[in-house]
Homo-oligomer: A and B are copies of this chain.
Amino acid sequence: MRRERTDAARNRAKILAAAEAIVAAQGVRGLSMAEVAAAAGVGVGTLYRRFGDRSGLAYALIDRREREFQSAFIEGPPPLGPGADPAARARAFLDALTDRTVGQLDLLLMAETAGPFARFGGAYDAYHGHLSMLIAQLRPDADAYCLADALLAPLAAPLLAHRIRECGVEVERVKLALAALLDGMTT
Given contacts A184-B184, A184-B185, contact A153 B146 (CB under 8 A): no
| Majority secondary structure of chain A interface residues (helix, strand, loop or mixed) | helix
Asked if A126 is an interface residue, CB under 8 A from chain B, the answer is: no
Provide the A156-187 mask, 1 if CB < 8 A to any CB of B, else 0: 11110111001001000110111011011111
Indicate how many identical chains form the complex.
Answer: 2
Bound form: Cα–Cα A171–B174 in Å: 27
Docked pose: A163 CA to B114 CA in angstroms: 15
Report A's interface with B, CB cutoff 8 A: 109, 112-117, 142-143, 145-147, 149-151, 153-154, 156-159, 161-163, 166, 169, 173-174, 176-178, 180-181, 183-187
| 8 cross-chain pairs, A with B, having the tightest CB-CB distances, nearest first | A184-B184, A115-B158, A146-B177, A153-B153, A153-B154, A150-B154, A117-B162, A184-B185
Can you identify 19 A-B contacts, CB atoms within 8 angstroms?
A: A109-B115, A112-B158, A115-B159, A116-B162, A117-B162, A117-B166, A142-B180, A143-B177, A146-B169, A146-B174, A146-B176, A147-B177, A147-B180, A150-B153, A150-B177, A150-B178, A180-B185, A181-B184, A184-B185
